[in-house]
Structure 1
C-alpha cells in the first residue's frame, strides 16, 4: 500500500478494532520516567498506552491523524476525566503540528512539567519527509530536560510474519536513523535496544528498535 492511502486504512481499522492494556514499551517508559513529565503520545491509535499513562496519574495528550479514533478516544477521556486530551493532527503538516506542540508546551510550562514525546509504532508508519518534519519540529520546540521515547520496526523486520500486512510500513535502518539524529545537535541517545521478544502479539514477534533520546 502507498503511504498516501494509509489514513484510509487506519480509519477503517479503528472502526473495527480495539486494543486494550498497555504495551510492554509503555510499561518500560512508566518505569523510566516520572510524573514530572507531560506525555505527548504521537500516533496514539486506540489510546491503549495513553490510557495507561492517564490511569497512572500522568498528564497526557494524544495525537493521531485518524479523526475516527480521536473521536472514540475523547469519548473515553470525557467520561473518565471530564476533558478532551486527544487531537487529530497530520504530523506532515508543519503548521498544524508546530502549533499543537507549542500549545501543549505552554500547558507543560504552566504545570512546571517537562515534555516526554512518546511514539510507539509511529515512525515506521510515516515516510522520510514526515520523519523530517517530526524531528525538525521537535528540535524547535523541545528544551533541555525534555525527552523522546521511540519504538519502531527496523529493516530486520521486513521478512518476518505479520498479522496485519496490508498497509504501509517503512522499515527503518537504525544506522541511518542514528546518522540522521546527529544532524540535530540537541538530541543525545541515552538508551538503545534492538531485537525481538519485546512486543509479542499473537503469533507475531516483530524486530524492533527502542530509543530514549535526551534533549540537551
Structure 2
C-alpha cells in the first residue's frame, strides 16, 4: 500500500510519541457526526490514537493500515468498538472487498459511513487514491462522507521533523476537481499552516469534508 513499507514498520515499532489523538479528530470537521448514525472507516490509522479516540466516544470503527507492526500493536488493545486490519490499498480487489465489507456492515447496523483519513492521502500515490475513489463509488450503498487532512504542494519546501520517506504533495485544485467530477460535494475546505503543529514543524495542510452523492450514482446506473 505505502511506499517504504519497511520504513513504516520500523517507525511504528520504535516511535513512542504517537499516542495522543490529533487536533484534527477534535476539530469541527468531526463534531457533526455521532456514533448512533455513523460507522467510521479510518484509512492510515498508524498507531491508532485517533481510532481509540473515536472508539472511546462509542463510534464503531474499522481501522486500516499497511504496516503490520502498527496493526499488531493496535490489535492487542482492540475492544468492542474498534477493529484493526492490515490491508494493501494498492490492490484493487482488496480495496473493493474492504469497501464492500464496510457497506454491508453499515447496512446491517442502519448507519451511514464516514471515511476518515489524517496524513494518509499524501502517503499514497495518485493511482492508489484513484483505486480508493473507484471502490467508494462502486460499493456505496449508504450515504458516505469523506473527511481528510493532508499535506499540500505549499508544504513541499517546508521543514519536516521526519523527512526520510515518501510524500506526495497534493495539488488541491486538481484534487477537488477530481472528486467533484466523480460525484462528491464539497461541504467544507480550508488550506493553511497552524492546523497541526508538531514539535518545530508547522506543516501546510488541507482539511476537507466531502459527501458522496448517492442520487447521482443512481442516475448513472
What TM-score, normalized to structure 1?
Answer: 0.92
Listed as ranges, the matches of 1:70-109 within 5 Å are 70-77=71-78, 81=79, 85-109=83-107
Structure 2 portions without partners, runs of 5+: 214-221
Aligned partner of residue 171 in structure 1, secondary structure: coil
How big is the shift at 1:142? Answer: 2.4
How big is the shift at 1:84? Answer: 6.6
* In 2: Cα distance, 1:84 partner to 1:198 partner: 26
How big is the shift at 1:5? Answer: 4.4
Say whether 1:214 aligns with 2:211: yes
Which residue matches 2:195? 198
2:192–2:204 CA contact under 8 A, matched in 1: yes
1:92–1:133 CA contact under 8 A, matched in 2: yes
Q: 1:15-67 CA distances to partner (integer Å, 9 max, x unpaired)?
A: 10131121111112441211111000101100010110000110001001111
Say whether 1:139 aligns with 2:141: no
* In 2: Cα distance, 1:96 partner to 1:4 partner: 14
Which residue matches 2:8? 10
State how many pairs are aligned: 210
* In 2: Cα distance, 1:215 partner to 1:178 partner: 13
Say whether 1:182 aligns with 2:180: yes
Which residue matches 2:217? none
- Whose helix proportion is higher, 1 or 2? 1
CA RMSD of aligned residues (A): 1.6
How big is the shift at 1:139? Answer: 1.4
Say whether 1:21 aligns with 2:20: yes
Aligned partner of residue 63 in structure 1, secondary structure: strand
Q: 1:78-106 CA distances to partner (integer Å, 9 max, x unpaired)?
A: xxx25870001011101111112211211
